[in-house]
């Protein structure tokens, strides 16, 4: 059994791929906020691929943690010389392991924010990338405006040179670069938000303007925020995954990453100070990400929401179980074909029918074991960004909304906090207390959940949506989740 670190690379099992480059030659070029499984399964992997070909050695990644929970990642990576194992799980049970070496350092901002700022001001850092989750952009789910009332943001605005938030740290670093005559870095969002670069641009400029109007105007004019779309199912690493790496590959890794074989990254070519040759590692570098982005958000991400609450309430606990059930597969295909696809523009180079069936195959991969609990988490950040835009577009065009409205109803039913057998559901959401309190009024006040204007805006005022939602919620309460899906498929 080898403990993963630099010294162990030459002693790894022959089945484990390892960096073929001299990591001592790798220098930082990217600082990344939000180092988790998703980042390590795509961006860090892509850089490692390029480095194995002798390219991009000046684009090493410095991870940056801001949240208290990020300390675990800092400790795990530091103990392993910032190496980790990426395990690709194929549906036939084949596992392919690869040690990734593109992360060269990890800084935990609460320990030493000045060191983080010094790193970000260094001209070597030419890209600052983000996977800070859908909720990390601090905007109102209905208005889309930056939330200046956030207490952490208010604290940073009061003491901008000693920031604690991602916004505060990045804007302070840009302010220092400007003062020192250093070219600004590009801010590259990789989160699952429509127009993620545009959203990041708007939010960072709003924060900077609140700090100082002139600084906000400079960032608005001088800093690039490319849009991107990243697609790879990457479930949370479990204790079983860690043990699997030990038993299969004789490798002790504190925090490996497991993922599906499929991967796609589409990126706009808008950068301030250069970029790695991403296209040489199968990244699609394009002029306009939007068609790809909407395809992924409204077909993959929204379909995850369509399967997860219904699936959980019907007794399933993993995504692959739901997608091996023909009834639920038909429901997902009907949602994608009748409600999501009409809201999409043509996607260059993509056969949408093939893409949709590939999604079902990916969801059904039994080796991934993606939990419904993970997919059900943080719904207040996900549903407004992924599913409600489909409903609004279909209402505007006169299209079908019955299935989408039913998904919202299934979320409301799940948020009640008990399943159909009366067993408790652990609702994981930043708005947990508020949502559960409203959902527990569902039976007596069935429209209460969608009348939460902080999440739904004026949707509850639309008679067609309201009727479709109430009908689905009534069936969920009266007949149960499976019967409700049967009704939806039979329509």
Is residue 396 within 8 Å of residue 263, measured between CB atoms? no
User: What does the angle CA 201 – CA 207 – CA 213 come to, to the nearest 5 degrees?
Assistant: 100
364 and 323 in contact (C-beta within 8 Å)? yes
Please identify which residue in the block is written with the tokens 């952009």: 137
Among 286, 318, 342, identify where a domain stops.
Answer: 286
Residues 389 and 276 in one domain: no
Residues 185 and 145 in one domain: yes
Domain with residue 402: its CATH number is: 1.10.1040.10
Tell me what pLDDT residue 135 has: 85
Q: How far apart are CA 53 and CA 401, in angstroms?
A: 48
In 58-162 the beta strands, taken as DSSP E runs, fall at 60-65, 84-89, 95-100, 103-108, 127-130
Contact 389, 298 (CB under 8 A): yes
Contacts of 43 (CB under 8 A, 6+ apart): 32, 61, 129, 131, 190, 230, 265
Q: Take residue 314 and report the two structure tokens written for it.
A: 């019907």
Nearest-CA neighbor of 319 among 374, 260, 400?
A: 374
- 3-state secondary structure at position 228: strand
What DSSP state is assigned to residue 491? -
Instruction: Tell how strand 127-130 and strand 28-33 pair up.
Output: parallel
Question: Are 301 and 378 found together in one domain?
Answer: yes
Do 251 and 87 form a contact (C-beta atoms < 8 A)?
no
Q: Which residues contact 343 (CB under 8 A, 6 or more apart)?
A: 294, 298, 389, 390, 393, 394, 399
Spatial distance between the Cα atoms of 38 and 44, rounded to a whole number of angstroms: 9
- Cα(157)–Cα(484) distance, rounded to whole angstroms? 49
Please give the mean pLDDT across all residues of the chain. 96
CA distances from 395 to 74, 295, 401, 403 (A): 46, 19, 7, 13
Contact 461/401 with Cβ under 8 angstroms?
Answer: no
Tokens of 101: 């070496």
β pairing state of 2-3 and 127-130? unpaired
Task: Find the CATH number of the domain harbouring 188.
Answer: 3.40.50.720
Residues 160 and 268 in one domain: yes
pLDDT, position 144: 87
Reported as type and span, the H/E element at residue 468 is helix 463-479
Alpha-carbon distance 42 to 270, whole Å?
19
Number of domains, the chain? 2
**Residues 253/76, Cβ–Cβ less than 8 Å:** no
Same domain, residue pair 259 and 300: no
User: Pairing between strand 257-259 and 84-89?
Assistant: parallel
Helix, strand, coil percentages (3-state) for the chain, rounded to 5, are 50, 15, 35
pLDDT at 343: 97
- CA of residue 336 relative to chain centroid, distance: 20
Where do we find the tokens 């040489």? 280
Domain residues for the domain of 148 are 2-286
Same domain, residue pair 282 and 316:
no
316 with 461, same domain: the answer is yes
Smallest Cα–Cα separation from 166: which of 191, 125, 136?
136
CB 170 within 8 A of CB 120: yes
Asked if residue 270 and residue 206 are part of one domain, the reply reads yes
Query: 308 with 444, same domain?
Result: yes
Nearest Cα neighbor of 300 from 230, 200, 392 is 230
Tokens, residue 392 = 């609004």
- Both 268 and 326 in one domain: the answer is no
Sheet with 127-130, strands from edge to edge, namely: 103-108, 60-65, 28-33, 127-130, 186-189
Q: What is the pLDDT of residues 98-151, one digit of tens each?
A: 999 999 999 999 999 999 999 999 999 999 999 998 889 998 888 889 999 999
CA angle 343, 349, 351 (to 5 degrees): 60
The pLDDT of residue 365 is: 96
Tell whether 28 and 168 lie within a shared domain: yes
Task: Give the span between the Cα atoms of 204 and 219, in whole angstroms.
Answer: 8
Looking up tokens 């207490």, which residue turns up?
151
Last residue of a domain, one of 225, 251, 286: 286
In angstroms, the CA 71 to CA 67 distance is 8
* 13/55 same-domain check: yes
Below-50 pLDDT ranges, the chain: none
Tell me how long the chain is.
Answer: 491
Alpha helices for 123-278 (secondary structure H): 151-158, 166-180, 196-211, 213-222, 239-249
Contact between 146 and 207 (Cβ < 8 Å): yes
Give the bridge partners for 252, in sequence order: 3
Predicted pLDDT of residue 88: 98
Q: How far is CA 339 from the centre of its chain?
A: 23
End-of-domain residue from the set 286, 309, 325: 286
* Tokens standing for residue 166: 């991602």
């Amino acid at each position: 059994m080898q403990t993963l670190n630099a010294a162990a690379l030459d002693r790894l099992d022959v089945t484990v791929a390892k960096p073929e480059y001299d990591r001592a030659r790798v220098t930082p070029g990217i600082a990344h906020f939000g180092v988790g499984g998703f980042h390590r399964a795509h961006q860090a992997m892509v850089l490692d691929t390029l480095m194995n070909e002798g390219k991009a050695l000046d684009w090493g990644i410095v991870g940056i943690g801001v949240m208290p929970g990020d300390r675990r990642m800092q400790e795990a990576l530091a103990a392993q010389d910032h190496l980790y194992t990426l395990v690709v799980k194929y549906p036939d049970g084949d596992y392919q392991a690869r040690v990734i070496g593109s992360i060269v350092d990890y800084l935990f901002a609460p320990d030493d924010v000045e060191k983080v700022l010094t790193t970000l001001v260094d001209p070597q850092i030419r890209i600052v990338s983000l996977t800070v989750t859908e909720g990390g952009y601090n905007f109102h789910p209905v208005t889309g405006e930056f939330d200046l009332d956030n207490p952490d943001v208010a604290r940073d605005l009061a003491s901008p040179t000693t920031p604690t938030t991602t916004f505060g740290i990045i804007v302070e670093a840009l302010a220092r670069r400007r003062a020192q005559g250093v070219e600004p870095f590009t801010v590259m969002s990789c989160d699952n938000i429509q127009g993620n670069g545009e959203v990041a641009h708007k939010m960072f400029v709003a924060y900077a303007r609140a700090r100082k109007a002139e600084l906000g105007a400079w960032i608005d004019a001088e800093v690039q925020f490319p849009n991107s779309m990243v697609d790879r199912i990457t479930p949370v690493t479990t204790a079983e995954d860690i043990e699997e790496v030990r038993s299969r590959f004789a490798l002790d890794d504190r925090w490996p990453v497991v993922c599906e074989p499929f991967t796609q990254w589409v990126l706009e070519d808008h950068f301030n100070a250069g970029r790695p040759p991403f296209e040489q590692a199968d990244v699609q570098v394009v002029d306009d990400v939007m068609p790809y982005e909407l395809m992924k958000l409204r077909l993959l991400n929204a379909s995850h929401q369509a399967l997860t609450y219904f699936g959980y309430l019907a007794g399933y606990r993993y995504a692959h179980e739901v997608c091996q059930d023909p009834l639920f597969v038909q429901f997902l295909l009907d949602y994608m074909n009748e409600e999501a696809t009409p809201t999409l523009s043509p996607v260059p180079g993509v056969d949408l029918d093939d893409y949709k069936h590939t999604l079902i195959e990916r969801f059904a991969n039994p080796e991934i074991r993606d939990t419904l609990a993970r997919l059900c988490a943080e719904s207040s950040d996900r549903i407004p960004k992924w599913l409600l835009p489909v409903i609004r577009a279909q209402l505007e065009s006169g299209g079908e909304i019955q299935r989408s409205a039913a998904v919202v109803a299934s979320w409301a039913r799940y948020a009640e906090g008990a399943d159909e057998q009366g067993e408790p559901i652990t609702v994981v959401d930043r708005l947990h207390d508020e949502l559960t309190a409203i959902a527990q009024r569902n039976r007596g006040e069935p429209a209460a959940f969608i009348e939460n204007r902080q999440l739904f805006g004026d949707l509850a005022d639309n008679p067609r949506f309201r009727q479709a939602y109430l009908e689905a919620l009534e069936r969920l309460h009266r007949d149960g989740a499976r019967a409700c899906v049967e009704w939806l498929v039979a329509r």
